[in-house]
Amino acid sequence: MVAGTSIVWLPVSDIDRSIAFYRDRLRLNQLQHEGDWAQLDANGLHIGLNARENPTGNGGAVIAFQPENGLDSAVQELRDSGVDIPGDISDHPWGRVATFKDPDGNDLQLYEPPR
């Protein structure tokens, strides 16, 4: 069902400030920056930064899993197994996303990069 972790992303209030922190201070390799999205490489683990007007302030990473047989198929399989996936798959310049929560309310996603 899941082929591995695709990316771990963090909600941030200022994309430029956050890019500078992760790239310049932590010296991660910047892979992408498009609008309110940036992606950096931490020795093979991709870190995504997603600008939000009002992040909760509590931090909280989001684990985005890479679906094994395509996003649409994985969403249907999860729904069929009783996982609540509210809303539709959202399309962005940086990929397609379906959001859901684990039993403790932690934010999870299925993520499919752009083709």
Burial of 72 (0-12, 13-18, 19+ CB in 10 A): middle
Structural domain range at position 25: 2-112
Q: What is the pLDDT of residue 52?
A: 77
Contact 45, 70 (CB under 8 A): no
- For residue 46, the model assigns a pLDDT of 93
- Cα 72 to Cα 78: distance, rounded to the nearest angstrom: 10
Question: What pLDDT is attached to residue 26?
Answer: 80
Check pLDDT > 70 for residue 57.
Answer: no
Q: What is the mean pLDDT of the chain?
A: 87
**Tell me: the pLDDT tens digits for 77-93?**
999 999 999 999 999 98
pTM value surpassing 0.75:
no
Give the CATH number, domain containing residue 93.
3.10.180.10
Distance CA 31, CA 39 (A): 5
- What's residue 56's pLDDT? 60
Q: What is the pLDDT of residue 9?
A: 85
Q: pLDDT tens-digit profile of 21-56?
A: 889 888 889 999 999 999 999 889 898 988 876 666
How many structural domains comprise the chain?
Answer: 1
